[in-house]
Chains A and B, each alone.
Chain A
Amino acid sequence: MNTDAKIVQRSIVGKGIAHDSAARHVAGEANYIDDMPELPGTLHAAFVLSPVAHGRLNSFDATEALAMEGVAGVWSAKDVPGHNEVGPIHTGETLFAEDIVDHEGRVIAVVAANDFETAYRAAKKVKLDIEPLEAVLDIEDAHRRKNYVVPVQEVVDGDVDTALADAPHVFSGKLKMGGQDHFYLETHIAYAIPGENGEMLVHSSTQHPTEVQHHVAGILGIHANAVECQVRRMGGGFGGKESQPTIIAGAAALIAAKTGKPCKMRLKRRDDMAGTGKRHDFVVNWKVGVDERGRILGLDAEYLARAGNLPDLTGPVITRALTHTDNSYHIPHARFVGHACKTNTVSNTAFRGFGGPQGIITIEAIIDTIARELKLEPNAVRAVNYYGDETGDTTPYGQKVDDNRLVEVTDAVLASADWQQRRAEIDAHNAANPVIRRGLAMMPVKFGISFNLTSLNQAGALVHVYLDGSIFLNHGGTEMGQGLFVKVAQVVAEVFQVELDMVRISSTATGKVPNTSATAASTGSDLNGMAAFKAATAIKARLTRVAAEHFDVEEEVIIYREGRVHADNRSVSFGELAKMAWAKRVQLSEAGHYATPKIHWDGKTMKGRPFFYFSYGAAVAEVAIDTLTGETRCLRADILQDVGSPLNPAIDLGQIEGAFVQGMGWVTCEELWWDKAGRLRTVGPSTYKIPGSRDVPPIFNVRILDNMPNREETVFRSKAIGEPPLMLGISIWLAIRDAIASIAGSVPQLDSPATPEAVLRSVREAKGRLKDS
């Protein structure tokens, strides 16, 4: 198989073709699960959620709910015919609480009724007898008590204690960073439809149809082959629909199985936010040793992650935080430790970046601190620490950085952003303006592409060629707006050299492509694109033999071009060739399978080559802060992102812009807030602020690194794009730090998110120093 971009013809791949659903999106014709016509007799479901953070569930009384007109039933743990399990990795993560409720919003039971409102009203009528228990709500409190959901993880390289003891300068600090709600506009939803002979069809808004299939089967106590999970599209996922959909789909399927009726479960925004997981908030304690130039000699970092009430994906999230603490910098002696702290809050889960943002903001805060302590330019400190010949090319977890593009991306973005000139302008502005301070920052991102767990790095695709030359495509990846479907369709159209509209995109379905991995870790197009490429290429090889025989030429002579198959000056249409192949009883269908090569990972030693390759990017952000109100505004952002040879640059640009703004939200305006009783009080857009139209920088220059095909043999030498640019949003937080640092020249005391309150506190602290000095 030849996937080399330089050799393989590229007439469809690499073009900025519109998202396959764009025309339907703008006409309101793209159907999400809640838009599907409901079958007669469809029931609607609502959860009974725990109102307390921690307690013993003695009993509940559903008499009043069951007496309501239209209520079909109430079900809980004791009604589950199979296993009461929904965990993505571990057992013991139950769908319904058994004896203990361990966070506010914990699912206790589910109510079904003839309509949605009745179900919700009935759920509120279920009386709960819960004996309150002491709740652990604080990460550091959980750490002190040694309450963890999974064992500690450690990435250790060299001798950090000696390095710190011998270092000319040692700095330390603590960084707190908040979590983040996914706030996909489409809340969690599933529609379960019972079939004959115990079969169950589940439409689920999920990034992981296979997991939904398996857990629904487990909950119902039936084989996986009786369950099909389908998803055409999600109204946003962002990681929030990786493991969490099993909760919703599991409950809907249970009701459907119990009643024999279709059951739809759609969460209200409040229940979605209270009952499902978010990005992990972390506390990090760090200590770094450096020389006079700011070169890092050793780094000791201890991460405390809020797992919430159970493990879910916290283990792998911590792994990615630990393997991204280096970001772009060579750290000769390292000890990165990660604790998964168990608290009585909703279990945190995957979110775009998956621990990477937490690792990268940590090292960027450290770099910023080093520079300000040593009175050096932060970018100069970055430069002396970049992976490279003068420093080293091996990460603390043992992978070589052998495709380094750090200097290319950082030099180019500094130039395109007019760094030198603007730095001088901003410094002059700050010298003259005590109230509105401006800040400027650049940061690079190196992000590892592949699931850390090697076994997840596989995918399947199914390609059929029909006798009219039209092509049917199915693969294990799911569409959540990231443009995966059009990218994979482009790959298939490229192989056959047919118009893109000859390739029919179809809903992800476990009955068509089995045993898939979640569409996650930015790997969707790498994995599914390559699986589809292999399937299409296999069919093409058979078709080529038929064509060569037909034209009586060598196979090498056969050329596919613009929907036709040529042998010198003779040709047939692609459809005619398909008919000829059928007549000769040649198979026109293929299931492709791809497993990412070269990768390996030892979870015990935390060493290996977990990532097939790295993605590189850099951003420059400028902000203004109001030192009297703490308000901030990003005035300009310049981004340069490596996407290899892009499959679809238009889609990729949208991903970069969106990810950056989502990252900006994480470090600025998005704040999750629990009260003292452990109740999440930010459960809607009225209290939880995601970036809006006014928050996007008025000058926003986004570019793709040109002419840099992936060095690894990915599909058409492209690179992943979903997550890496999210971390570039951290540049805004660094620019806010820069603006605050201008007040007293000191190290800003600023955690994340830099809400106006946090900025104001930090400004006051800096002003206090000014007075003291």
Chain B
Amino acid sequence: MITFKLNGQQRTFDGDPDTPLLWVLRDFEKLTGTKYGCGIAQCGACTVHLDGMTRRSCITPIATVDGSEVVTIEGIEGKEAEAVQKAWVAIDVPQCGYCQSGQIMSAVSLLQMTPKPSDDDIDGAMAGNICRCATYQRIRQAIHDAADTMEG
């Protein structure tokens, strides 16, 4: 039996301990905001926060989550999350939207650690989240805007 905290609530999982966290979230917890993109931790669509750090849920066996705290796009909160989500909508970042949950999880994590990131900080932190609509330019700007609103 694996026990973990999910978006602030205690959860248990008693299936195959090798099951990737992504599928525990999507199939068992019915939290579908976290997406499958590649299954090999190379696209970032499945990004969640595990004990406060970004983690690719598609290659994270649920066994390794035992005793940890998971936050998904559905449970994300705080000033960074609020600023990022607002900035994203304000400057029209999402196109197809499919990768955006992962983008936002990475952006929030960046701002939690680096409240005033440079372009290089942003490009580096976001390099693991690919977007085929290529919204990168707006992601970069939205993160700057979010940082500004947090400051103000």
The yes or no answer to B100 lying at the interface (CB within 8 A) is yes
Instruction: Report A672 CB to chain B, min CB distance, Å.
Output: 16
A22 near B37: Cβ-Cβ < 8 Å = no
A441 to chain B, nearest CB (A): 20
Interface residues of B in 11-48 (CB under 8 A from A): 26, 30-40, 42-43, 45
Enumerate chain B residues within 8 angstroms of A653, measured Cβ to Cβ: 92
Chain B nearest CB, measured from A659 CB (Å): 8
B133 to chain A: closest residue by CB: A658
Cβ contacts under 8 Å, A703 to chain B? none
Partner of B134, one of A19, A234, A268, A657: A657
Considering only residues 476-512 of chain A, those with a C-beta below 8 Å from chain B are 480-483
Is A40 in the interface zone, CB < 8 Å from B? Answer: no
A25 engages B100 (CB within 8 Å) = yes
Chain A positions within 8 Å of B, measured between CB atoms, are: 16, 18-19, 21-32, 34-35, 37, 182-187, 233-238, 266, 268-269, 480-483, 650-651, 653-655, 657-662, 665, 684-686, 690-696, 698, 700
List 30 A-B pairs, Cβ < 8 Å: A16-B92, A18-B89, A18-B92, A22-B94, A24-B97, A26-B88, A27-B74, A28-B31, A28-B34, A32-B35, A35-B32, A184-B98, A185-B130, A186-B37, A187-B37, A233-B96, A235-B99, A236-B98, A236-B133, A237-B96, A238-B132, A480-B96, A481-B96, A481-B133, A483-B95, A658-B133, A685-B37, A691-B134, A693-B136, A694-B124
Q: Do B97 and A269 have beta carbons less than 8 Å apart? A: no
Contact code string B111-141 (vs A, CB < 8 Å = 1, else 0)? 0000000010011101101111111111110
Given the interface pairs A26-B89, A269-B39, A684-B38, the reply to whether A481 lies near B97 with Cβ below 8 Å is: yes
The 9 closest A-B pairs by CB, nearest first: A28-B33, A481-B96, A235-B98, A25-B97, A28-B73, A661-B134, A35-B32, A481-B95, A685-B42
- For A694, list chain B residues within 8 Å (CB): 123-124, 127
A234–B96 touching, CB < 8 Å: yes
Residue pair B99, A185 in contact (C-beta under 8 Å): yes
Query: Residue-by-residue, is B80-98 near A (CB-CB < 8 Å gives 1, otherwise 0)?
Result: 0000110011101111111
CB of B70 within 8 A of chain A? no
* Chain A residues with CB under 8 A of B132: 182-185, 236, 238, 662, 690
Task: For the A-B complex with A185-B37, A269-B38, A661-B137 known, give 10 more contacts whose Cβ atoms are closer than 8 Å.
Answer: A19-B92, A19-B97, A37-B30, A650-B92, A653-B92, A658-B135, A685-B40, A685-B42, A692-B136, A693-B140
Residues of B within 8 A of A480 (CB): 96
Q: Nearest residue in B to A235 (C-beta to C-beta)?
A: B98
| Residue B57 at the chain A interface, CB threshold 8 Å | no
Separation in Å of the B60 CB from the closest CB of chain A?
Answer: 16
B92 pairs with A657, CB closer than 8 A: no
With beta carbons under 8 angstroms apart, the residue of B34, B72, B97, B136 that contacts A30 is: B97
Closest to A664 in B: B134
Report the bound CA distance from A481 to B98 in whole Å: 9
Given A26-B85, A269-B37, A685-B42, the answer on whether A186 and B134 have CB atoms closer than 8 Å is no
Known: A27-B85, A481-B133. A185 touches B43 (CB 8 A): yes
**Chain A residues whose C-beta falls within 8 Å of the C-beta of B74 in the assembled complex:** 27-28
**Residues of the B chain whose Cβ atoms lie less than 8 Å from the Cβ of A661:** 134, 136-137
Which residues does chain B contribute within 8 Å of A658, judged by CB atoms? 95, 133-135
Min CB gap B111→A, angstroms: 14
Chain B at the A interface: mostly helix, strand, loop or mixed? loop
Interface status of B101 (Cβ within 8 A of chain A): yes
Which of A22, A24, A29, A184 makes the CB contact (< 8 A) with B92?
A22
A690, B130: Cβ atoms under 8 Å? Answer: yes
Q: How far does the alpha carbon of A619 sit from the alpha carbon of B136 in the complex, in Å?
A: 19
Across the interface, do A21 and B94 meet the contact criterion of CB distance under 8 Å? Answer: yes
Q: How far is the CB of A224 from chain B (nearest CB, A)?
A: 28
Residues of B with C-beta under 8 A to A22: 88-89, 92-94, 97
- Which residue of chain B has the shortest Cβ distance to A695 in the bound complex? B136
| Chain A contacts for B42, CB-based, 8 A | 684-686
A268 in contact with B39 (CB, 8 Å): yes
Residues of A within 8 A of B140 (CB): 693, 696
Asked whether A28 and B89 contact (CB < 8 A) given A481-B97, A658-B134, A700-B137, the answer is: no
Interface status of B62 (Cβ within 8 A of chain A):
no
In the docked arrangement, what's the CA distance between A235 and B43, Å?
14
**CA distance in complex: A35, B35 (Å):** 9
Please, how many angstroms separate the alpha-carbon atoms of A268 and B90 in the complex?
34
- B104 within 8 Å of A (CB atoms): yes
List the A residue with the shortest CB-CB distance to B87. A26
A21 touching B97 by the CB < 8 A rule?
yes
**Chain A residues closer than 8 Å to B93, beta-carbon distance:** 22, 26
Chain B residues within 8 Å of A690, by CB:
130, 132
Chain B nearest Cβ from A680, distance in angstroms? 15
User: What separation, in Å, do the CA atoms of A696 and B129 have in the docked complex?
Assistant: 13
Closest to B98 in A: A235
Interface centre among B45, B97, B130, B133 (most CB of A within 10 A): B97
Q: Which of A37, A184, A700 contacts B96 (CB 8 A)?
A: A184
Task: Using CB atoms, name the residue of chain B closest to A36.
Answer: B32
Q: Does B127 contact A27, Cβ atoms closer than 8 Å?
A: no
Residue among A18, A35, A659, A692 with most chain B CB within 10 A: A692
B96 and A684 within 8 A (CB): no
Q: CA separation between A672 and B40, bound complex, in Å?
A: 19
Pick from A18, A185, A238 the residue with the most CB of B within 10 Å. Answer: A185
Q: Which residue of B lies closest to A686 (CB)?
A: B42
On chain A, the residues within 8 Å of B37 by CB distance are 185-187, 269, 685
Given A26-B88, A654-B138, A696-B134: A235 in contact with B97 (beta carbons within 8 A) = yes
**Which of A26, A266, A686 has the most B CB atoms < 10 Å from its CB?**
A26
Give the residue name and chain of the B residue nearest to A696 (CB): B136
- Count chain B CB atoms within 10 A of each CB in A234, A480, A685 and give the residue with the most: A685
CB distance A25 to B134 under 8 Å? no
A619 shortest CB reach to chain B, Å: 14
> Which residue of A has the minimal Cβ distance to B125?
A693
- Interchain CA distance A551-B30 in the complex, whole Å: 54
**Distance of B138 from chain A, by nearest CB (Å):** 7
Is the CB–CB distance between B32 and A34 below 8 Å? yes
List A contacts of B43 (CB < 8 A): 185, 685
Given the complex, which residues of A lie within 8 Å of B40, measured CB to CB? 269, 684-686
CB distance from A594 to the nearest CB of B (A): 25
Whether A186 lies near B96 (C-beta < 8 A) is yes
* Residues on B with beta carbons closer than 8 Å to the beta carbon of A665: 134
Whole-angstrom distance between the alpha carbons of A653 and B91 in the complex?
11
- How far is it, in angstroms, between the C-alpha of A480 and the C-alpha of B85 when the chains are bound? 21
Cα A184 to Cα B107 in complex, Å, equals 21
Q: Quick check: A651 and B92 within 8 Å, CB to CB?
A: yes
Across the interface, name the chain A residue whose C-beta is closest to B104: A26
In the assembled complex, which residues on chain B have CB atoms less than 8 Å from the CB atom of A482? Answer: 95
